[in-house]
Amino acid sequence: MKMFIGGRWTDKASTTEVVNPYDGSVVDTTPRADLKDVDTALATAVRGAKAMAKTTAYDRYLMLRKAADIIAGRAEEFARVITLEEGKVIAESRAEAQRAVQTMTLSAEEAKRIHGETVPLDAAPGPGRQLGFTLRTPVGVVAAISPFNFPLNLVCHKVGPALAAGNAVIIKPATDTPLSALKLTEALLEAGVPPEGVQCVTGSGGEIGDALVRDPRVRKITFTGSRDVGEGIVKAAGLKKVTMELGSNSPLIIMPDADMDRVADATVSSGLSNAGQVCISTQRVLADGRIYGDFLDALKPKMEAVTTGDPLRDAVRMGPMVRESDAERVSLWIREAVEQGARLVTGGDRDGAMHAPTVVAEARPEMRVSRDELFGPAVAVTAFNSIDEAIALANDSRYGLSAGIFTQNVDWAMRFALEVESGNLMINSSPQWRADLMPYGGLKDSGMGKEGPRYAVEEMTELKMVVFHLE
Ligand code: NAP
Amino acid, single-letter form, for residue 130:
Q
Confidence at residue 463, expressed as pLDDT on a 0 to 100 scale: 98
List phi, psi (to 5°) of 413.
Answer: -60, -40
CA distance 376 to 273: 9
Mean pLDDT of the chain: 98
pLDDT confidence of 76, banded at 50, 70, 90? very high
Mean pLDDT of 177-205: 98
Confidence at residue 127, expressed as pLDDT on a 0 to 100 scale: 76
Residue 391 pLDDT > 80: yes
Mean pLDDT of 321-339: 98
Instruction: Give the residue from 420, 324, 336, 333 showing the smallest Cα distance to 372.
Output: 333
Q: List Cα–Cα distances, 48 to 85, 357, 381, in angstroms.
A: 30, 46, 50
Nearest CA to ligand 1 atom 13: 205
Q: Which percentage of the chain shows pLDDT scores above 70? A: 100
The β-bridge partners of 406 are 254
pLDDT tens for each residue of 194-246: 999 999 999 999 999 999 999 999 999 999 999 999 999 999 999 999 999 99
Give the distance (Å) from ligand 1 centre to CA of residue 296.
33
Name all residues whose Cβ lies below 6 A of ligand 1: 145-149, 154, 172-176, 204-206, 209-210, 213, 224-226, 229, 232-233, 245-248, 279, 373, 375, 401, 442, 447
pLDDT confidence of 176, banded at 50, 70, 90? very high
Residues 221, 190 contacting (CB under 8 angstroms): no
Residue 448 pLDDT > 80: yes
Distance of CA 255 to the CA centre of its chain: 28
Give the distance (Å) from ligand 1 centre to CA of residue 226.
5
Nearest CA to ligand 1 atom 8: 174
Mean pLDDT of 283-287: 99
Nearest CA to ligand 1 atom 28: 225
User: In sequence order, which residues have a C-beta less than 8 Å from that of residue 259 and are 6 or more positions away?
Assistant: 406
Nearest CA to ligand 1 atom 22: 205
Mean pLDDT of 448-470: 98
Q: State which ligand 1 atom lies nearest to the alpha carbon of 447.
A: 41
Residues 347, 356 contacting (CB under 8 angstroms): yes
Give the torsion sign (CA, 209, 242, 103, 139).
Answer: negative
Residue 319 pLDDT > 90: yes
pLDDT confidence of 128, banded at 50, 70, 90? confident
Query: Pocket of ligand 1, candidates 16, 145, 233: which has the most ligand atoms within 8 Å of its Cβ, to mutate?
Result: 145
Mean pLDDT of 333-338: 98
CATH class given for the domain over 251-427: alpha beta
pLDDT confidence of 89, banded at 50, 70, 90? very high
User: In sequence order, which residues have a C-beta less than 8 Å from that of residue 73 and are 6 or more positions away?
Assistant: none
Query: Pocket of ligand 1, candidates 16, 18, 86, 149: which has the most ligand atoms within 8 Å of its Cβ, to mutate?
Result: 149
Give the distance (Å) from ligand 1 centre to CA of residue 54.
32
Nearest CA to ligand 1 atom 34: 247
In 20-156, where do the E strands start and end? 26-31, 118-119, 129-138, 141-145
Give the distance (Å) from ligand 1 centre to CA of residue 230.
8
Confidence at residue 142, expressed as pLDDT on a 0 to 100 scale: 99
Amino acid, single-letter form, for residue 263:
V
Element (H, E) at 406: strand 402-406
What residue spans define the domains of the chain?
Answer: 3-246+444-470, 251-427
Nearest CA to ligand 1 atom 39: 245
Confidence at residue 436, expressed as pLDDT on a 0 to 100 scale: 97
Confidence at residue 471, expressed as pLDDT on a 0 to 100 scale: 86
Q: State which ligand 1 atom lies nearest to the alpha carbon of 373.
A: 32
User: In sequence order, which residues have a C-beta less than 8 Å from that of residue 163 and are 6 or more positions away?
Assistant: 52, 60, 63, 64, 107, 111, 169, 188, 193, 197, 198
Mean pLDDT of 447-466: 98
Mean pLDDT of 301-322: 98
Q: Which percentage of the chain shows pLDDT scores above 90? A: 99
CA distance 151 to 183: 11
Which amino acids are annotated catalytic?
Answer: 245, 279
Give the distance (Å) from ligand 1 centre to CA of residue 181.
14
Instruction: Give the residue from 178, 445, 185 showing the smallest Cα distance to 322.
Output: 178
pLDDT tens for each residue of 364-380: 999 999 999 999 999 99
Give the distance (Å) from ligand 1 centre to CA of residue 343.
31
pTM score, two decimals?
0.98
User: What's the CATH code, domain 3-246+444-470?
Assistant: 3.40.605.10
Residue 54 pLDDT > 90: yes
Using DSSP, state whether 14 is helix, strand or coil.
Answer: coil
Query: Pocket of ligand 1, candidates 153, 156, 223, 226: which has the most ligand atoms within 8 Å of its Cβ, to mutate?
Result: 226
Nearest CA to ligand 1 atom 18: 206
Give the distance (Å) from ligand 1 centre to CA of residue 126.
50
